[in-house]
Copies of this chain bind each other. A is one copy, B any other.
Amino acid sequence: MAEKDNSIFIGNKAFMNYVTAVVMQFTTKNAEEVLIKARGKFIARAVDVAEIACKRFLENTVKVKDVKIDSEDFQNKEGKDVRVSIIEIILTKA
């Protein structure tokens, strides 16, 4: 199922890498939907990627289908309980 994985996880690479990855999923890979995921401080960036991809590069062809937020609890290296927020943005062909 690897070739059907249309998820893009946002981190600290150059911003346009992510925008290009989204655009290519819809164009060269002909995806119907793309899932953009991010955690913590990268959440704002995920929204930027989705907005730039939809409004500047894929205008009138791709739109935001759904946005979900959630959070996870986990233990960090020091054994302390930490909570981190998560966003998932689903883009779909318009």
Contacts and interface: CB of A to CB of B under 8 A. Distances in A.
What is the count of identical protomers in the complex? Answer: 2
A16 interface: no
A67 B67 contact: yes
A85 interface: yes
A83 interface: yes
Contacts of A71: 48, 51, 55
A92 to B, nearest CB: 14
Interface of A: 40-44, 47-48, 50-52, 55, 64, 67-71, 83, 85-87, 89
Ranked 7 nearest A-B pairs via Cβ: A43-B44, A67-B67, A51-B71, A47-B85, A44-B44, A47-B69, A48-B85
